Amino acid sequence: MLRATLKNAAKQQLSGKWTPAVLATLIVLVIAGACGAFMGMGNSLSLIGQQGNASSLAVGGAVLNVISTILYILVVPALMLGLVRFFLNLAKMQQVEISQIFWGFRYLLKVIGLEIMIAIFVFLWSLLLIVPGIIAAFRYSQAMFILADNPEIGIMDAIRQSKQMMIGHKWEYFVLELSFIGWGILSTFCFIGMLWLAPYMYTTYANYYLYLCGLNVQSAESVQNFVQ
């Protein structure tokens, strides 16, 4: 079964590399969480200020919200691209370092543009019904991996290539995502569990991307153990 093979490969690839994988994930989650927390704080302050007729508090909250939103846009997409690059290198059995999560800042404008275009396309498809929106999200699911693997590619080329790669594979990808739901629910009760689950998921998805590319997914156990 494909998903079992991809997951087993991920476990073997992570063997001996759990520490950098967890630390890389933790750094990205903390920074993204902090940006999100400041955005929420700004919204709360604005709401409290409006309800209490405290204009200075409302303005302060609005300013905090704007600043934190800008920081989120400028920081999180680049970190996510770097994290994808990290796990793609891990899946390829290449050297990985925690500093690789900052690699995405070299292509900041491109990754922001990619995120914006994907969001627009998914939103437009969602106007029809929720199901077309979900299908669209699957259709563009490989775009970030494509950019991480080929940083010189254009935004629309990455999107088109993802669409092409996912033809006939959307249900397969959906089932792969479903296979993590149980662990995802359990990890919500324990942050440490999420730190274990996220690297496992990202490595599995990186293997799936390589599978779609028609490449062999190498395990850590033997160079002859491949996903065809």
Q: Express each pLDDT in 195-211 by its tens digit.
A: 889 999 999 999 999 99
Name which of 155, 204, 145 is nearest 2 in CA terms. Answer: 204
Largest CA distance in the chain: 69
pLDDT score of 43? 67
pLDDT score of 222? 36
**What average pLDDT does the segment 98-116 reach?**
95
Choice between 144 and 218, residue whose per-residue pLDDT is larger: 144
Task: Give percent above pLDDT 70 in the chain.
Answer: 83
How far are the Cα atoms of 33, 81, 95, 102 from residue 197, in angstroms, in the given order? 17, 18, 21, 21
pLDDT score of 171? 92
pLDDT score of 54? 59
Is pLDDT of 213 > 80? yes
pLDDT score of 37? 80
Q: What is the SS3 assignment for 71?
A: helix
Q: Tokens 């033997």 correspond to what residue? A: 222
Which ranges constitute the DSSP H helices of the chain?
2-14, 18-51, 55-91, 108-126, 130-139, 143-149, 155-165, 170-178, 181-187, 191-212
pLDDT score of 224? 34
Task: Give percent above pLDDT 90 in the chain.
Answer: 59
**What average pLDDT does the segment 88-107 reach?**
94
b/e per residue 82-121 (b: at least 16 CB within 10 A): bbbbbbbbbbbeeebebebbbbbeebeebbbbbbebbeeb
For residue 220, the 8-state DSSP code is S
Q: How far apart are CA 45 and CA 54, in angstroms?
A: 10
pLDDT score of 206? 96
Is pLDDT of 167 > 70? yes
Written as one string, the DSSP assignment of 114-170 is HHHHHHHHHHHHHTT-HHHHHHHHHHTTTHHHHHHH-TTS-HHHHHHHHHHHTTTTH
Whether the CB-CB separation of 172 and 53 falls below 8 Å is answered with no
For 4-47, the pLDDT digits (tens) are 899 999 999 999 899 999 999 999 999 988 888 877 776 666 66
Q: How far apart are the first and last CA of the chain?
A: 11
How far are the Cα atoms of 26, 72, 73, 81, 164 from residue 45, in angstroms, in the given order? 28, 18, 21, 32, 45
Q: How far apart are CA 111 and CA 56, in angstroms?
A: 36
